[in-house]
Amino acid sequence: MRLFIDAQALQTPTSRFRGIGRYTRNLIVALTKVRPDWQLSLLENTALPAIDRSRIPEVEICPFTPPAAMLRENRPLNECYLADWIAGQCPDVVLLPSVFEDLALIPRFHSVHPLCVGVLYDLIPLVWGREYLGKTAMLEWYPRRLRQLLRCDGVLAISEASADDLRRFCQGNHPEVVNIAGAAEEFFSQDDPESHQMRMQQLRHRYELSRDYILYVGGIDDRKNLRGALRAFAELPPKLRAKLDLVIVCNLDGKQWPQLQNEVNSLGITGHVKLIGFVEDAELRALYHDCRLFFFPSLYEGLGLPILEALHCGAPVVASNCSSLPEYCGAVAWLVDPHSPKSMALGLQAALAEDRDRRLRQRLEHARQFTWQNTAERAAQTIEKLYQRGRSISPSRPRLAWLAPAPSVSSNERTVMEHWAEQLSASFEIIWCIDPRQPLISPTFARRWRGILWNEIDAYSENHPFDLFVYWTESRSDRNDLGKIASRHPGWWIESTDKKVYSMRWSEPPIKLLVGADQEGEFVQPHKADAPVPAILVKRLWEAIQQRRICDGAWIDTVRRAVADAVGPLPTRLPEQWAELRWQVLRQKVHAAERIDGSAPRRRSA
């Protein structure tokens, strides 16, 4: 099997050094071990920092260069091209380890595409909608990424809690979802006693750690509940608290640090809270080994990796009783209500009352259940099952985006393009895509056809992808305008000249057709609009759709040639040159046209 893995999570600044990047890297390494006979290929986006190849095994790296700059306005074009490029690699399965990656490109596949499997870490923006989706920037991209995840053939969740969230929010409208769990890196295990003692002497001196301490590792955002940890520590009995420190490993900026220090002062625990900021993995491992207990009061986690890291290092754990944390804590940790400082304080007291090493063996045994080999094996089995099941092509009619001038209200004759579209409707579902700048359209036409405006094509295609785009042009200006759309959605062109010579083309040289003949060559179209559709036209449309469905690598070459011919070299920034109109505006034009031609009764004046 050839598994094609989107490795952009190893490149983006938001993921490459954090949990998602680590998860992706460890999953890739483990897959090479549990399925050595698979051919793994990693997608590398050349517009992002290069993948650190020293931390992954010897696997094939496939560089992809986006055709346009990595700007938000260019994303539809780049992601459509990425989808075609991946299809051209002819993989058996595509694995998307980080669909919710705003700084990366996620392929926008058409209705039929290579079998795709996505990885789900959490649905935090949905669970915490007010805090996250209230931000305009996230509201713009998060729903789109969620739709891209739901279009996958299968989803690998990192916990049963995350899988349940997908089932709950999507209420059955989701692909099969399987919990493959996760694991800590092998680095977080029992440390060598001699080197550990030397490192801890240095750390205790650097951070002035003279007492036993409770360790907190996490972020500053509300979900991590750092302020709840401070309140819980303040709730401890004074005599017990006097013997302890709360060590906080958290990367804070210049504004957050004094704010947190003010809260520490207000709680009366000054001198017992050590804000030590960011630490390297070696120092973090030493802190896990040395702490009296590890405290993780997060309000929501897709996995909660620090819990596994702490358990691997033998630390007692007190953690929240919500989301995925009970799955990873098992019976060897104390679970508390993260919304209640008193509940958390009681959990801390119970853990502190027990000798630190009393259940050390049980903690280590529990942590060893979570290995990357187990996670990769579950992922591989799910991928194999989905691949063996295969993908079925829907028997419904293929959907064509028909970009052509619609008959105006002043036109009394049916056009050739409209007549052809009617005949093709027996085999294809046709959606008429209309220039919002054109004159009023015919009411009869508006009732006969479904239609959208040019500026709605991207969103419409994303929600309900087209199988093929067909561009009908009768002038050079039409071709220039449609070329901008074709740069994002390549398709077949039907062109005419003043001599009524029509030609079809996807790539050079153009395919020319002779009316009444099922052969390739020039044809002259009669002026009457009821001429039959050339059989070769239907044949070529079906061939194009089937090429797309079977992911023929040659398809990609024709796409690139067609776009280069239509619009020339792609610019760095794609200008928005058409009006921001909606279908409702077009409907208003239709109503106005009905009043003009008298096809609808006029409203009486009062």
- Residues 6 or more apart whose CB falls under 8 angstroms from that of 208 comprise 274
Return the structure tokens found at 356. 């630190």
Pair (134, 278) in one structural domain: no
* CA–CA dist 566, 479 (Å, integer): 8
Average pLDDT of the residues of the chain? 80
| 476 lies in some domain | yes
Return the structure tokens found at 387. 């691949």
| 387 lies in some domain | no
Pair (219, 80) in one structural domain: no
Whole-number pLDDT of residue 590:
41
pTM of the model: 0.74
Number of separate domains in the chain: 3
Pair (312, 281) in one structural domain: yes
Pair (209, 355) in one structural domain: yes
| 186 lies in some domain | no
pLDDT band with cut points at 50, 70 and 90 for residue 377: very high
Pair (173, 234) in one structural domain: no
Spatial strand order of the sheet with 399-403 comes to 451-453, 429-434, 399-403, 468-473, 492-496, 502-505, 511-512
Pair (266, 300) in one structural domain: yes
User: Is residue 525 over pLDDT 70?
Assistant: no
Q: Which of 156, 179, 202 is the last residue of a domain?
A: 179
User: Is residue 225 over pLDDT 90?
Assistant: yes
User: Is residue 303 over pLDDT 60?
Assistant: yes
The secondary structure of 559-578 as a DSSP string is HHHHHHHHH-SPPSS----S
Whole-number pLDDT of residue 557:
46
Give the domain extent around 487: 399-596
pLDDT band with cut points at 50, 70 and 90 for residue 506: very low
Pair (120, 27) in one structural domain: yes
Return the structure tokens found at 360. 């050390």
Q: What is the CATH number of the domain that holds 216?
A: 3.40.50.2000
- AA identity, residue 114: P
Whole-number pLDDT of residue 407:
72
| 604 lies in some domain | no
User: Is residue 135 over pLDDT 80?
Assistant: no
Whole-number pLDDT of residue 160:
97
Pair (175, 197) in one structural domain: no
| 586 lies in some domain | yes
| 187 lies in some domain | no
Whole-number pLDDT of residue 147:
83
Pair (362, 407) in one structural domain: no
- 334-345 per-position pLDDT tens digit: 999 999 999 999
Pair (473, 348) in one structural domain: no
| 455 lies in some domain | yes
Q: Which residues pair with 472 in a beta bridge?
A: 494
User: Is residue 596 over pLDDT 60?
Assistant: no
| 375 lies in some domain | no
Pair (169, 199) in one structural domain: no
Residues 361-393: b if buried by 16+ CB within 10 A, e if exposed: eebbebbeebbbebbbbbbbebbeebbeeeeee
Pair (333, 358) in one structural domain: yes
